[in-house]
Structure 1
Amino acid sequence: MSDPPDFPELLTPWERLRQYTDARIALGRVGTSVPTAELLRFGQAHALARDAVQAELDGVALAEALPCNTLQVRSQAAHRSEYLRRPDLGRRLHPESARVLRAHRSDPAPDLLIMVSDGLSALAAQRQAAAVLHTLLPGLQAAGLRVAPVLIAGQARVALADEAAELLGVRLAIHLIGERPGLSSPDSLGAYLTYNPRSGTLDSARNCVSNIRPAGLDAGTAARRVLALTLQALRRGLSGVELKDTDGVLGEGPG
């Protein structure tokens, strides 16, 4: 959003709207082009989005910020360039990571798994994930749910949590992952929830809480929505297109 103007009474109606949105509206024009200041802002936003896509996740720093035990895993994509060119590799665990998870399987298995990963914006996971988990984990524990050690995953796509959850034998997976950056949101986090996650799970079987960032959906509200969805998914034994907002899910989180 724009900074407050020095003389608000001089603003046009379009310029007043700019105070309430990050959308690129009321840019003005000089002849057939946009003003230089707006062109420079666009270039800066585009550069921030590109940087967010290319950035690497600092798994050690993220683990230190999380209020729980963690395990580091990675996909089969060897580096960022391969990850961006081969989405399929980002959906499968590296064999060594799969071995680590098999070694951590327990009986009885935990109820759910949480994965935090870079996705298309490591910046989002680095900035937003800890705040979400500081609210979400106590809520899950208060509900009597057993949570596996949080997985921190590099070069990951959404489906990577399915294979990890299958190896650990959990009933539900929550994947906090960096979303594709927009020109005003390079650090937006998404939370994907999947009941009965397995390799090959369709996207239609997932629920998503998106745009988690200070300028979008704040971390506390997002965590409460994810918790409400989790409790509903476990109670009803499903997730995805059959678990809709009309069920009151998004309004039922703890206050």
Structure 2
Amino acid sequence: MNDSSTLNWLVDQVMKALEKKVEDRESKPHMIAEAATSYEMLAQSHSGELPSDHSIDEVLPHNIPEPRWAEGMEELLASTPARIGVWRTGTRPLTSTMLALRNAHAAAIDAVFSEVSPDLLQEMNLFTVETHYGDMETFLRRPDKGRRINDEGVALMREKCVHRPQVQIVVADGLSANAIESNIRDVYPSLMNALEVYGLSCGTPFFVRGGRVGCMDHIGEILHPEVLVLLIGERPGLVSSESMSAYMCYRPHAGTVESDRTVISNIHRGGTPPIEAGAHMGTVLYKMLEQQTSGIKLIM
């Protein structure tokens, strides 16, 4: 279970304790102590696992009690992870709902301002180049700075990378380092397996720090791959801070328009499964090479 679910479970336990306090004021010291103990146990735990006697249903926000159209509400809730149908206290959301929302917002901020672990990059055998992003404030205010690799990075790419590869794989932090940390170990091997199945050769993969989607065009001008796939962290939302996208393009170059890119988005454990996404990328790249195009002109 992830940290968000753990916190939601904790909030639920605290709320239950407060509800019992209202019912039986004499139990107040016992209930508050029980809630505090639960918090301490979770704070000291690094496993992120919920106690075995608690199901996933218990960590979800409280929904509307006795809705007029119960079946419709159930169908709507099953169709989206968005925060809909949550109940209220007076004119305000439930405390548990608000705490869960603040937790998700904090996770989104952390995803933007955190960095991909050097240990992970070493594990995946990815060397690092940087764009002209400078610092995080500039990166957020000036997207154009993340679209071109700096001079040192260009020299490193020319030195280490295979030129004119059939498939070039690039990983970039984008707007969520957390997305790379959470998915790359599953996506990357799956993609490599798919390329092997289709008989496609791969160039030298590497990592771009401070990268935006447009950096694939600059990389295309330097390495001249037939097709390039950019695995990049998506802008985090309040449902997931771990969502990654794969942007693929046939012979990317300066002036490539967005309609020439093919994208697989929402790659995370609650969306498009990472292993499935990696396998599908192999199919898409194969068709790009076969049809010598990408984006809206590509026939899948």
1:54-203 equivalences in 2 (<5 Å): 54-58=113-117, 60-66=118-124, 69-104=125-160, 106=162, 109-203=164-258
Name stretches of at least 5 consecutive residues in structure 1 with no aligned partner. Answer: 250-255
Give yes or no for contact 1:65–1:130 (8 Å, CA) kept in 2: no
**Pairwise CA distance, 1:161:** 1.8
Matches of 1:46 and 1:20, distance apart in 2: 22
The equivalent position to 2:100 in structure 1, one of 37, 41, 45, is 41
**Pairwise CA distance, 1:201:** 1.4
1:212-231 equivalences in 2 (<5 Å): 212-231=267-286
So what's the TM-score if we normalise by structure 1? 0.86
Deviations 1:79-118 (A, max 9, x none): 21211111001001011101112234556x2112111111
Give yes or no for contact 1:105–1:169 (8 Å, CA) kept in 2: no
Which residue does the alignment assign to 2:57?
4
Which residue does the alignment assign to 1:253?
none
Matches of 1:206 and 1:5, distance apart in 2: 41
Closer/same/farther in 2, CA of residues 62 and 31 from structure 1, 3 Å limit:
same
Matches of 1:195 and 1:220, distance apart in 2: 23
Matches of 2:242 and 2:297, distance apart in 1: 29
So what's the TM-score if we normalise by structure 2? 0.74
Closer/same/farther in 2, CA of residues 23 and 70 from structure 1, 3 Å limit:
same
Structure number with bigger Rg: 2
The structure 1 segments of at least 4 consecutive aligned residues displaced by more than 3 Å after TM superposition are 14-21, 104-107
Matches of 1:127 and 1:133, distance apart in 2: 12
Aligned with 1:116: secondary structure? strand
Name stretches of at least 5 consecutive residues in structure 2 with no aligned partner. Answer: 9-55, 60-64
Deviations 1:104-134 (A, max 9, x none): 4556x21121111110000001110121011
Which residue does the alignment assign to 1:31?
90
Matches of 1:95 and 1:25, distance apart in 2: 48
Aligned with 1:4: secondary structure? helix
Q: Which has the higher contact order (CA 8 A, sep 6+)?
A: 1
**Pairwise CA distance, 1:200:** 2.6
1:214-253 equivalences in 2 (<5 Å): 214-243=269-298, 247=299, 249=300
2:204 alignment partner AA: P
Deviations 1:21-80 (A, max 9, x none): 42101111222221221111111111111111111222x2222332xx432111111121
- Range moving further from structure 2, 220-229 or 28-37: 28-37
Which residue does the alignment assign to 2:31?
none
- Range moving further from structure 2, 204-213 or 98-107: 98-107
Q: Which structure has more helix as a fraction of its residues?
A: 2
- Range moving further from structure 2, 32-41 or 234-243: 32-41
1:116 alignment partner AA: V
**Pairwise CA distance, 1:19:** 6.2
CA RMSD of aligned residues (A): 2.3
Percent same amino acid at aligned positions? 33
> How many residue pairs align between the two structures?
239
Aligned with 1:194: secondary structure? strand
